[in-house]
Every structure is written in C-alpha cells, then in structure tokens.
Structure 1
Amino acid sequence: MFTKIFLTIGVLLAIAFIALVIIKIKNEQEVDRIWRSLEVTPTSDRFTEDMVAGLPLPVQRYFLHSIALGTPLASSVSLEMSGSFRMAQEQPWIPMRAKQIISALKIYFLRWGKRTEDNTHTYIPFGGEFTAEKTFNSYTIPSQVGAGWQFGTENYFEFFRAKIEQAEFR
C-alpha cells in the first residue's frame, strides 16, 4: 500500500517537474524571440553636420558632442550594465547586472505605482539623474544613472543605480 502511494507521489512529482521544464523552455524561447525582434539592422546613413544645421545652436552642440561625424546612424542600442536596487529607504542596496535593448521604434514607459501616502495606485513622478557620460563607438551617451519614485519632490526615493559598461549601436 505504502509502495503504491510513494510510487504515485513520485510519478506526480516527475510529471510536475517535466511540466515545469517545458514551461521554462517555452518562456526562454519567447524571451529570445522578443529579444531578437528588438535587434534592428543599422542604416547605411552616416551622421553629418548638415543633419543638424537647421536646429537651434544648443541642439546642434549637443548632437555634435554626442555623435562623432561620420558615425553610422543607429536605430537601436544594446546595453550591458551593472548597478543596484533597494526596496526601501532603510534597506541595503542589492547588486544587479542586466542587458537591455532599446529600439527607438519599440520603447514605451509608464510609471504606475502605489508609493503614495494613502498607498493607492496612481501615476507617480518617476525620474533620475545622469551623473557621468562615456563614448562607445563614436556615440557619447549618459553612462551612469540613478532613478526613483517621487522624482523632484522632497519624498524622492532613489531605488536604482546603474553604470553602462558596454553599448553596441546597430
């Protein structure tokens, strides 16, 4: 009797384990498909001064500082970063590493949360500051950032810090 029960439990555990492995493989395949869909082939166009000639002078200076003349124009960037998160003001920073692809055609952010006095969900000021910049493949971009909830208010809670270590423009 006990043998049948243990055998049944063993079979059920094996089936559950196999189901979890199948779900994990399907999820990884979906993530890979989405990741590949964000990778965009670069254009053959190159950055020239003429592209910014009609813009206000501060904008011209920014682009001429940020993109070296002759740089192939990118439509996406793949970033690798390290940084840290914290879940509450009094808790320690937790290290993290991440990869991210940002494609100008496929990026959208909303900041929705419940970091309010009455703990209800609403749109909350969210933002951060760039504290350093670095040049990757002739593009100068912000390379160090801190971000958090209630940005620009006395209740600002920085919970994210990151330093871009590598950027590949495509």
Structure 2
Amino acid sequence: MAAPEFETPFDPEMTRHLPEPARRWLDHAIRPGTPLSPAALLRMHGRIRLGSWRTFRATQILRPPHGFIWAAGVRVAGLPVRGFDRYSGGDGEMRWRMLGALPVMSATGPDITRSAAGRLASEFVFVPAVALSPAVSWEPGGGDRARAELTVNGTAHSVVLTVSPEGSLIELTLHRWGAPEGGSFDRHVFGAHFSGEASYGGYTVPSAVRAGWWYGTERWTRGEFIRFTLDHTEFL
C-alpha cells in the first residue's frame, strides 16, 4: 500500500497493513478526517537532571525525520541558563549560556549529531502522522509491541513501542548513541515511559513523559534525566 501524503485526511483504512499494536495506536491517536500533519510545535514544563533535578520550561519544533529544535530555560545556582538542542541539515548541536552571555556548554560534531538523530527518531510519536510516511517501516514486536524503523539522514533507527489495549502508548525503547554520566560514546538503551494523554486538533498524544538512559534496567534510576508535561501541542 502506498504511503498517504501529508494533508490527506486520515482514514483508518490507512493503518490496516500495519502490525496490530501500531494500528491500535494510530487509530486511537488520529481522529478520522484529521489532515495528516508532518510537524508539531510543543510547549512543555518539567524537571531535568543537571547534577540535581531542576525545573525548566521549553518550546520545541519537531519534524521527524528532518529535524527538531528544543529551546529551554532553567536556573542553575539561582542564575538563568537558556539555550537549545537541535538536529537540522544532518547536523546536531547543543548550545547553552548563562545570563545570555556566559557559555555553559557548546557541543557539535559526529557524536552529538548521531545522538541527536536518535532523539529525533524516538520523538516521532509526538507527530503520529509521521508513522504513516515513507520514512517509517513497521514490523511486529511480539505481544503489545511493534517495531518502527525510522530513517534519519540515511540511517535506520529501530524504535520499539508498547501499546495499551485501548491504544495509548505505554513506553518506547531504542538503542541510542550517547555518553551517559560523561562516559565514552556508545550505543546505550534509551527509553521513555508515558502516562496521561491530551488531544489537540484531532490528535491524541502522551501528556506526561519520563525518559533517559538504561531504561528497563537496574541503572534506570541513574540514567533517567528528564520528566516533563506537555502544556500544548499545535500540529503544523
């Protein structure tokens, strides 16, 4: 079956060729007749672990598999730190400054790009229509799981979704390039747990997320580094 084009109204028949958990998720996540949207603007707040847990607010533009930019503000030692993480044009970058001027962190290069591409692959679930695009292929994952292969700049990323009987997302996992706890870069288990949902413009997406490294292992308590709640989502 040919992949539907973006802006085409969603019809549940579009999901009939997918593994049952993926079909159950998309039939739950997209209301029939909703135009398929390739991108989203997300607004969120939560806590991020930067040494200790700190509150943040962020805005993200997300267009899998092409790119994202996540711009956030947090306080460190009582002082404001603002910056962004991004993946665009095949490159990743992190740039953060205190008081708008003092560099806190700046990173680019192949390892940052590879890690950012993995993040982008994992976040396609916040733009459900992308699951029907040519960038994603599907395989059964066993039980309530389905495996999505999302191609980012020519590299496939395997993301395993677990779906509830009602069609809501429970969790996802993938092997993502990174250097948790300041170690050497390598592929590590990365995952996210979802709770709660919110609906915007015909789409239903997870509203509360906990994510980090070593998901599902005894090291999860050390690897978890972000917890956030979506405040609003606009599909573009």
TM-score normalised by the chain length of structure 1: 0.64
**CA distance, structure 2, for counterparts of residue 84 and residue 111 of structure 1:** 23
Q: Does 1:135 align with 2:199?
A: yes
Task: Report the RMSD for the aligned CA atoms in angstroms.
Answer: 2.1
Would the alpha carbon gap of residues 48 and 94 (structure 1) be closer, same or farther in structure 2, given more than 3 Å must change?
Answer: same
Displacement of 1:114 in angstroms is 4.5
Would the alpha carbon gap of residues 142 and 114 (structure 1) be closer, same or farther in structure 2, given more than 3 Å must change?
Answer: closer
- In the alignment, which residue of structure 2 is the partner of 1:66? 29
Q: Percent identity?
A: 33
Aligned residues: 124
Contact preservation (8 Å) 1:52, 1:63? yes
Q: Does 1:113 align with 2:76?
A: no
Aligned pairs for 1:49-64 within 5 A:
49-64=12-27
Q: Which of 187, 192, 203 is 1:123 aligned to? A: 187
Q: Does 1:83 align with 2:46?
A: yes
Larger Rg: 1
- Name the structure with the higher helix share: 1
Would the alpha carbon gap of residues 124 and 50 (structure 1) be closer, same or farther in structure 2, given more than 3 Å must change?
Answer: closer
The 3-state SS of whatever aligns with 1:125 is strand
User: Match for 2:198: what amino acid?
Assistant: K
Q: Which moved more, 1:151-160 or 1:42-51?
A: 42-51
Contact preservation (8 Å) 1:114, 1:122? no
Q: Which ranges of structure 1 fall in alignment gaps of 5 or more residues?
A: 1-41
- In the alignment, which residue of structure 2 is the partner of 1:95? 55
The one-character-per-residue Cα deviations of 1:28-64 (angstroms, maximum 9, x if unpaired) are xxxxxxxxxxxxxx94311012212333443332211
The 3-state SS of whatever aligns with 1:167 is strand
Contact preservation (8 Å) 2:177, 2:185? no
- Name the structure with the higher strand share: 2
**CA distance, structure 2, for counterparts of residue 58 and residue 123 of structure 1:** 26
Would the alpha carbon gap of residues 160 and 122 (structure 1) be closer, same or farther in structure 2, given more than 3 Å must change?
Answer: same
**CA distance, structure 2, for counterparts of residue 62 and residue 168 of structure 1:** 20
Q: Which ranges of structure 2 fall in alignment gaps of 5 or more residues?
A: 68-116, 119-175
**CA distance, structure 2, for counterparts of residue 121 and residue 55 of structure 1:** 34
- In the alignment, which residue of structure 2 is the partner of 1:36? none
The one-character-per-residue Cα deviations of 1:122-149 (angstroms, maximum 9, x if unpaired) are 3322222112211111101111111122
The 3-state SS of whatever aligns with 2:21 is helix
The 3-state SS of whatever aligns with 1:78 is strand
Would the alpha carbon gap of residues 137 and 113 (structure 1) be closer, same or farther in structure 2, given more than 3 Å must change?
Answer: same
